[in-house]
Structure 1
Amino acid sequence: MTVIHPVPALSPIAEIWREFDRRFAETDAERLTMPWRSLDERGIAPRDLRCGYREGDTFVVERGGFYQSAGLWTNHSPAFHLGTEPVPGPDGRDHPRRPTKPEGIFYDRFDRDAGGRVSFEVLEIDRHLGLFHKWQNDPRVAHFWEEDKSEAELAEYLAIRIANPSVLPVVSSFDGDPTGYLEFYWGQEDRLGAYYDAHPWDRGWHGLIGERKHLGRKKTSAWIRSLNHYLFLDCPLTEKIVGEPRADNVKLLSYTEPMGYRKVREFDFPHKRAALMHCDRDVFFRKVRF
């Protein structure tokens, strides 16, 4: 016998968030309005929406503010600890104490351009090691990552990152199908922090799409759009996302410019020639459409 579980009803606040999300997508407007009285009728305090302001008898929502503050996409509380004492970082670069990492699936968004849901889940070695091993031993991935090793070696690789408070290992999925691997990191603690003027709240990422069926411009763009979105949502103090892909990874670099990235310069790591990439918060939310 098939058991049908009812779909949970949306809260009044989530209904309004979804309405604005739909209207922004359909109109490409930079600014949307709603009669102030409609909030009163639903018993909603505007401050609880977190994404707009009053202008006369109208509630105003601006595109950039909405996608930086509405609570539709992540269940992880924003990660910022004001006033926290600095702790010693690598190479003498002090940094704030980093917040607790999320658990389980912590980001989920329907990408209209790709026509599917992008989600991020915290990697668990017991559940995901086989996938990670398969992806790293794909010659296409190994060419850039150089981690085509045994499961035991890769388990150690992941355990080190899981134990590091400045790194979050992630499995990304498309419509619930595991697609690839991401590492989110705080720029000041990463090896990259020594190669540029790193600020305490800079975030960065390494990533690979392991499943060939999920390659292609639309899905890869959805993947980059979503990871940028999450990193800016996660910490309101993050003004810049950084990266250091191989300078000869032409395909990846071609995807980053439409997502608000700019190539600052090339430089030499001990193991590769890298391109220093920056994505500024204001540019991302001004340029990128959801």
Structure 2
Amino acid sequence: MNIEAAKNWSPATAAGNEGWQHLASAAEPLAIRAGDGHVSLVDADGTAAGQARISVADGRLLIDDVAFAGGRLDQPQILAGLVDAALRLHPSFDRAFLPVAKTLWPVSTLATEAAAGEPERAIVHRSVLRQLPLLWRSQASHSTYPALTTAIGPEDRLPPLRQPRPCGPMYERWIAEIGLTVSLRPIDRRTDLDLFHRWMNDGRVAFFWELAQSHEELDKYLAEQESDPHIFGVIASFDGEPTGYFEFYWAKEDRLGPYYEPLDWDRGWHGLIGNTRHLGRPKTLALFRSVTHYLFLDEPRTQRIVGEPRAAHQKMLSYCADAAYDKVKEFDFPHKRAALVCCERERFFREVPL
């Protein structure tokens, strides 16, 4: 259906902006507009990229009359954005009922279930939708490798061949609870070194990271990462303002690998909040959940995200607990007593609000 054919409603009559939606296919965010029983995704010029009617009947969240702007080739991404917006507007529902794919073909990229007794309805589950690379994860920044074997790596823990690190923006998601957009991008030592040096030489950060070093030493640290396929650094921002630094790693090849039974696609991360303006539990927890979300989105074969915070770092462990990480055990690294924490994919998408 062409969006011009939709009747009795337009973005101009909507109640207002309900937030932002970041499609993997779009360079700029789309505004979420809701009102009069409809939801739409609107470009900066006020043009609706897509819209739908939403209603609740018999305890079900229904999405009907879906329409797309003429010429849009990213209809699956738009539909995913509309469904996600509908679920945000109705947070008590964990699934939405859509028309079947034979009447709305992008449904085939989202739905995993046919409604019992209703041949004209397909079901999209919230926990499935938020694992799909249709929203938030920039498609142009990523490449996916097949499971190719390699003889390069730790001899006792040879990994599959790893894809190169992303280039450019990796992830963007508007977080209603704090009213900010979180974004992730690779660190660039040519432009980010001063920021990295300032954060690492902050006493609060240096206590845990032990990298209070000179520009030259930190430049070497980042340069060594560039030649190591198992790890790379990331700058996290709120509304474009650099906020924290994270390191994403493949656990099998990491120093953590010998201390548990790693799977090929296990991922892990270290992180810090360097911008003191954004300290505090709501923002920190939003970042930790977003980082975990990104790592699951990045590689669909990843079933576990692991970490190794200090065993005595109770604040960090409490953040982990609120992001669906279980404490598995304690163990001794050469430099610290650590806790092994683990987040399972199924539990994360079932329990963690995004």
Asked if Structure 1 and Structure 2 have the same fold, meaning a TM-score greater than 0.5 normalized by the shorter chain, the answer is: yes
Taking the aligned partners of 1:187 and 1:79, their CA distance within structure 2 comes to 19
The one-letter code matched in structure 1 to 2:188 is E
* RMSD over equivalenced CA pairs, Å: 2.0
1:27 to 87, 90, 100: 90
* Alignment CA distance shift 1:7-1:170 (3 Å): farther
Per-residue CA deviation, residues 53-93 of structure 1 (Å, 9 max, x unaligned), is 44420121011110001511112477654441233322521
> Comparing 24-33 with 138-147, which one deviates more in the overlay?
24-33
Q: Which runs of 5+ in 1 are unaligned?
A: none
- Correspondence 1:237 to 2:306: no
CA contact (8 A) 1:239 1:281 kept: yes
Deviation at 1:126, TM superposition (A): 0.9
In structure 2, the residue matched to 1:96 is 160
CA distance in 1, matches of 2:220, 2:48: 43
Of residues 271, 289, 294, the one that matches 1:207 is 271
Q: Distance in 1 between matches of 2:255 and 2:331?
A: 13
Distance change (3 Å), C-alpha of 1:261 and 1:112: same
1:262-277 maps to which residues of 2 (within 5 A)?
262-277=326-341
- Which residue is equivalent to 1:127? 191
TM-score, L = length of structure 1: 0.91
1:64 paired residue among 127, 130, 134: 127
Residue type of the alignment partner of 2:130: Y
CA deviation after TM superposition for structure 1 residue 110, in Å: 0.6
| 1:223 and 2:287 correspond | yes
For CA contacts below 8 A with separation 6 or more, give which structure has more relative contact order.
Answer: 1
Q: CA deviation at 1:35?
A: 2.3
Residues 280/133 of structure 1: CA separation in 2 closer, same or farther (3 Å cut) = same
Equivalent residue pairs, number: 282
For residue 158 of structure 1, what is the amino acid of its counterpart?
L
Q: Secondary structure at the match of 1:69?
A: coil
User: Equivalent pairs: percent with the same residue?
Assistant: 42
Q: Could you report, residue by residue, the CA deviation over 1:111-146 in whole angstroms, capped at 9, with x for unpaired residues?
A: 122221110001111111111000001100001001
Bigger CA radius of gyration: 2
What are the equivalent positions in structure 2 for 1:1-290 lying under 5 Å apart? 6=45, 10=49, 11-28=74-91, 29-36=93-100, 40=103, 44-47=105-108, 49-55=109-115, 56-76=119-139, 80-290=144-354
The CA distance in 2 between the partners of 1:126 and 1:80, in whole Å, is 26
Task: Please tell me whether the aligned partners of residues 76 and 234 of structure 1 are also in contact (alpha carbons under 8 angstroms).
Answer: no
Distance 1:271 1:14 in 2: 46
**Deviation of 1:52 (Å):** 3.9
SS of the aligned residue for 1:207 comes to strand
- Alpha-carbon contact 2:159-2:253 (below 8 Å) kept: yes
CA contact (8 A) 2:200 2:209 kept: yes
**2:143–2:166 CA contact under 8 A, matched in 1:** no
Q: What SS does the aligned partner of 1:230 have?
A: helix
Q: Give the alignment's TM-score, normalised by structure 2.
A: 0.75
